């Protein structure tokens, strides 16, 4: 059945036009109409009432929400997170692991495979994101030191047989780290660097071998220094590398957010949440892997040492923060919510409201709250 969305204020990369109608046929966008007096007949008509209509958000770094973590390895966790991410406007999600042993990683990936096979009506899950376990033990953040190990492409291949791995975040300076990027690319996996003390020269070696991304930019990576610009300097200096931003104004302060958006091409910035099970939940005590975390006023910290332990950020709030802090046109900022993510992990026909693209779209209120969410042309959430 065809669906016509009329009276839309469409904001897509480099496109900001009011009173647009969008014709959906099946899972994809068929056509856009800018003349409200010349609209096609459709099986269903939905009036957007002038609301913002943007491409569905793609969160490529999120561990959990609603009291569950993907690494719990339960079907209830997988299903709950995938459905509740819709509330944030997320239409595609890469379930993100913690640094754990291979057996538990395998169980978690199995729940993602079962979710996709079942056809459940949450957000789309084209693959997973392995954060760790191949990280620098001196840059743990909230990762568990008990399970840190050297890069092992054979382990990655075993896990990928269970469910596709779209992205893997690791420390590029570990022995064999530069070549590991090339090995990942050969398997169709986006190599990303984080939890790393890499020097700029080590970053450059990784880039030559295909390193594409820097995960949760500025956090748990070598800082900018006048004698070695480290990974933070690399993210600003290298025009081609994608940088991923937790824009909760805590992991990255507003001044740094503003500075990065002034210095870095919007085509290379990706918003992420790095959310944990505390997202969407009240303050209190929770578990991150095997580590206790405490949430006070929405801020997530390890109980043992006070280190930040992921976020409780909703994706739509990250966009709102960036819009308010930078003041940049939304048609530019919207690149950072799905178009750039899709390109960074090789996801075709996602991230734009154009004919031929998947009909993954979000209606946003004036304060950036999702009111309707479409996934593959199907209305899966309405307020």
Q: Which residues are catalytic?
A: 274
Q: Are residues 357 and 349 in contact, defined by beta-carbon separation less than 8 angstroms? A: yes
Q: What is the distance between the alpha carbons of residues 64 and 70, in angstroms, rounded to a whole number?
A: 6
Nearest to 69 by CA among 39, 28, 112: 112
Q: What is the distance between the alpha carbons of residues 272 and 50, in angstroms, rounded to a whole number?
A: 27
Q: Are residues 339 and 55 in contact, defined by beta-carbon separation less than 8 angstroms? A: yes
The dihedral sign for the CA sequence 366, 367, 373, 379? negative
Side-chain-side CA neighbours of 147 within 13 Å: the count stands at 18
- Residue 198 makes CB contacts below 8 A (sequence gap 6+) with 171, 172, 173, 177, 206, 221, 222, 230, 231
Parallel/antiparallel/unpaired status of strands 44-47 and 2-12: parallel
Buried b (16+ CB within 10 A) or exposed e, 21-49: bbbbeeebbbebbeeeeeeeebeeebebe
Side-chain-side CA neighbours of 318 within 13 Å: the count stands at 29
What is the token pair recorded at 172?
């590029």
């Amino acid at each position: 059945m065809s669906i016509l969305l009329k009276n839309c204020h469409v904001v897509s990369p480099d496109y900001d036009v009011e009173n647009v109608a969008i014709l959906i046929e099946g899972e994809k966008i068929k056509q856009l109409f800018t003349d409200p007096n010349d609209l096609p007949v459709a099986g269903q008509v939905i009036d957007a009432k002038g609301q913002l209509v943007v491409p569905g958000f793609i969160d490529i770094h999120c561990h959990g929400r609603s009291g569950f973590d993907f690494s719990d390895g339960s079907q209830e966790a997988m299903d709950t997170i995938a459905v509740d991410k819709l509330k944030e406007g997320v239409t595609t999600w890469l379930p993100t692991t913690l640094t754990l042993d291979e057996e538990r990683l395998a169980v978690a990936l199995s729940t993602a495979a079962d979710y996709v096979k079942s056809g459940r009506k949450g957000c789309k899950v084209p693959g997973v994101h392995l954060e760790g376990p191949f990280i620098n033990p001196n840059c743990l953040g909230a990762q568990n030191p008990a399970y840190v190990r050297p890069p092992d492409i054979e382990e990655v291949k075993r896990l990928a047989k269970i469910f596709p791995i779209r992205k893997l975040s690791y420390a590029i300076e570990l022995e064999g780290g530069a070549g590991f990027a090339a090995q990942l690319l050969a398997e169709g996996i986006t190599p990303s660097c984080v939890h790393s003390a890499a020097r700029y020269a080590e970053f450059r070696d990784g880039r030559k071998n295909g390193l594409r991304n820097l995960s949760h930019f500025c956090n748990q990576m070598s800082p900018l220094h006048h004698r070695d610009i480290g990974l933070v300097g690399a993210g600003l200096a290298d025009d081609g590398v994608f940088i991923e931003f937790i824009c909760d104004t805590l992991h990255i302060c507003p001044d740094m957010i503003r500075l990065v958006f002034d210095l870095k091409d919007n085509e290379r910035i990706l918003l992420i949440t790095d959310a944990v099970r505390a997202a969407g939940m009240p303050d209190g005590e929770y578990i991150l892997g095997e580590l206790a975390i405490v949430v006070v006023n929405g801020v997530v910290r390890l109980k043992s040492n006070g280190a930040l332990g992921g976020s409780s950020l909703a994706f739509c709030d990250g966009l709102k923060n960036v819009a308010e802090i930078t003041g940049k046109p939304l048609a530019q900022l919207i690149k950072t919510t799905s178009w750039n993510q899709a390109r960074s992990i090789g996801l075709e026909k996602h991230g734009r409201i154009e004919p031929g693209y998947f009909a993954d779209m979000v209606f946003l209120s004036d304060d950036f709250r999702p009111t309707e969410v479409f996934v593959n042309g199907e209305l899966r959430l309405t307020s």
